[in-house]
Structure 1
Amino acid sequence: MRPSRRLEQLSWPELQRAAGRPSSTVIWPFGAFEQHGPQLPLGTDALFAERLAAAVLERLGQDGADPPIWSLPCWSFGFSPEHRGFPGTLSLPAELLIAQVVALGGQLAAAGFRRLVLFNGHGGQIALLQVAARQLRAAYPELAVLPLFLWSGPEGVAELIPEPERSQGLHAGLAETSLMLHLAPELVGPQRPVDGLLPEPPPPGWSLEGAVPQAWLTADLSRSGVVGDARGADAALGERLFEQLVAGWTRLFSDLLASAWPPVSSGSPWLQS
């Protein structure tokens, strides 16, 4: 019988042994509960984070391997104020999400785990989870904390999306609709909106996101909730995206588990202030 990779399925002695292993690592998938246009479910980001994390753990455990990595249940409520103009969005205050990460992450550190990966599927809380990770790291310097965005890291993912959708499809467009058609086609509605395109280009060098971004709200751009073009979405593209993401994250986590990265220095007094 293969060992479970889900922490909630372990007994407390099993969890204690897991935490005590060298390089013990926990993945905590993060999603959101927010509108994704008329064609995608409210839990899109959470479904992606959970399915990808599970697939990566499955591959890491192939051929009888027993790597020191486990997952928490996905946290499905996030920081989504940009989508509150649409029914169905449930958004937590920033300070509550940060406090949750610090509280539960601190207990994982106390149990003996060495790394915590915040595996985030919602682009609107990337910066917030980076702040939470830094606060957790300062409070528990013995715990390495890695705030990741599931769409960033593996190579070759962006190249599967053609321009202009690659740079302009920010929400519920081609990529997300295609990935959902692969993972859970029964949850995808028939609409394929084209919406959220800027009525006029920004000044040179400026953009909605990127090096010189702005704090945009979805209702500023879109009536449907989509920011992008979902017309070309299909399950075949979704399958290619999923495979590229899983393969890339599997390589990255395999290299991480074989290393001592990132370094921690729990004895440094300035980290404990």
Structure 2
Amino acid sequence: MDQLRKRFDQLTWPEAKNAATRPGATVIWPFGACEQHGPHLPLSTDAVFAESILDSVLLGLDPALPLWRMPCQALGFSPEHKNFSGTLSLSAPLILELVDQVGMQFAAMGMQRLVLFNAHGGQIGLLQVAARQLRASSPSLAVLPCFLWSGVEGLAELLPEQELLHGLHAGQAETSLMLQMAPELVGSDRPVDGYPAPGSAQDPPEGWSLEGAAPCAWLTDDLSVSGVIGDARPASTDLGRRLEERLIRHWQARFQTLMASDWPPSQSLLTNPSNGAPKS
């Protein structure tokens, strides 16, 4: 598959016009961030993951599908990391406005779906709000905010429980995945930091956690001196390869089922069901 033909911004204007009016026309917009990832990973870590996984996913899908991707939004919402050099964070209102402005233009072209393919955990909630706001302002456009690591099967088989629960940033998983994808960007340090000591002021009381059902709006320097929240010591290329395989397999399956359906119904589908996506 010619990857350039799956880049929306590489189309000519007549091609873009035709693309947007195809039944089931869908754009995927990858989101990353420019933020510290400890002393061993690049500021672009989340953007690298979003773009690399998405490109691999698209390679495994039928090139005839009406599915295109946008360039990565490489600056995101990262106030939790602002006290570490290199972090560039856009404000929440600016992200909301950005998604709304771009999404409204896709809706005006005739696109049926916009997928926000996000790899930065710190902006999950914000992009969900942005998606809801855009859906309200552009009822003809279905908007799907997704998180790269959410719902991926088999992660518990690959990562220890401590890292699954507390390895929130630049730990074993992210370091391993970067070793697989771009080892030249990985430094030699393998920090372990950010785990709250039992009984310390940073240790959440029973029923509470840094993230999860009853979370805390933490800042990185509340927890970590290095910028790492987790344990990068066991990271390996082999683990990164297995994580990459699971991520690609998961998102290929998700996009295959999405593109074979009319879901989710937008106002245009509800008023004119014949405009739905093809079943095959």
TM-score range, shorter chain: over 0.9
State the match for 1:58 in structure 2. Answer: 59
After the TM superposition, which residues 64-213 of structure 1 pair with which residues of structure 2 at under 5 Å, given as runs?
65-200=63-198, 201-213=203-215
Decide which moves more: 200-209 or 249-258. Answer: 200-209
Identity %: 62
- AA matched with 2:65: P
Q: Secondary structure at the match of 2:6?
A: coil
TM-score (norm 1): 0.94
Distance 1:194 1:142, change over 3 A: same
* Deviation of 1:187 (Å): 0.2
In 2, Cα distance between equivalents of 1:131 and 1:119: 14
* 1:227 aligned to which of 220, 229, 245: 229
Measured against aligned partners, the alpha-carbon deviations of 1:96-136 in whole angstroms (never above 9, x if no partner) come to 01100000011011111100000000000000000000000
Matches of 2:156 and 2:51 in 1, distance apart? 21
1:259 counterpart SS class: coil
State the alpha-carbon separation in 2 of the partners of residues 252 and 206 from structure 1.
31
The 3-state SS of whatever aligns with 1:4 is helix
2:20 equivalent in structure 1: 19
CA distance in 2, matches of 1:46, 1:39: 16
Alignment match, 2:275 = none
| 1:196 to partner: Cα distance | 0.3
- Structure 1 residue 10 corresponds to structure 2 residue 11: yes
Q: Distance in 2 between matches of 1:158 and 1:216?
A: 24
Q: Which segments of structure 1 move beyond 6 Å, counting only runs of 4 or more? A: none
Structure 2: segments with no counterpart, 5+ residues: 271-280
Contact kept in structure 2, 1:157 and 1:245, CA below 8 Å: no
Give the deviation of 1:267 after TM superposition: 9.3
Q: How does the TM-score come out when normalised to structure 2?
A: 0.92
Tell me the distance in 1 between the aligned counterparts of 2:204 and 2:145: 30
| Cα deviations by residue, 1:8-31 (Å, 9 ceiling, x for unpaired) | 111011111111111110000000
Relative distance call for 1:161 and 1:213 in structure 2 (3 A) is: same
Contact kept, 8 Å, 2:112 with 2:266, in 1: the verdict is no
Cα deviation, 1:194-217, whole Å, max 9, x if unaligned, reads: 000102332111100000001000
DSSP-derived class of the 1:117 partner: strand
Q: Give the root-mean-square deviation of aligned CA atoms.
A: 1.4
Deviation at 1:163, TM superposition (A): 1.6
Structure 1, unpaired ranges of 5+: 269-273
Counterpart of 1:265, as a letter, is: Q
Aligned length: 265
